[in-house]
Homo-oligomer: A and B are copies of this chain.
């Protein structure tokens, strides 16, 4: 594959490339809606199997959605980055059948580290989670 030189095209190609080999995100039903430089928007629908003992979406699966959005935003420059750590605040439970939208934005990027803020909202646009994570560059490109 030819690596695009335009930054917007590069982000789109890196996103498509990563998504194609990210089996876990596919199995969780996470969809890539948009990947731009330092940005990603993804969605996940709350299915029956995702409910925990209180009949709301398992918090770990909401974290997985946010973490995935950070991964796509942090790799959008075609420089491979991995998650170092993250924190998440659970603001509101997510119900069966809701579609959760995660938007990841680059809040900081230095030579070797990145910081990302991810918000998850539900169908009604209400905040469900706030996530903040940090990544570090591991060398190498995303597009293969």
Contact = CB atoms under 8 A, between A and B. Distances in A.
12 contacts: A22-B52, A24-B61, A28-B60, A52-B71, A59-B86, A60-B67, A63-B64, A84-B134, A107-B127, A108-B127, A113-B136, A134-B134
Nearest to A50: B24
A130 interface: yes
Copies of the polypeptide in the assembly: 4
A23 to B, nearest CB: 5
B60 A24 contact: yes
Interface of A: 18-19, 21-25, 27-28, 48-54, 57-61, 63-68, 71, 82-91, 107-108, 112-113, 115, 127, 130, 132, 134, 136
A123 B87 CA distance: 26
Nearest to A17: B53
Contacts of A21: 53
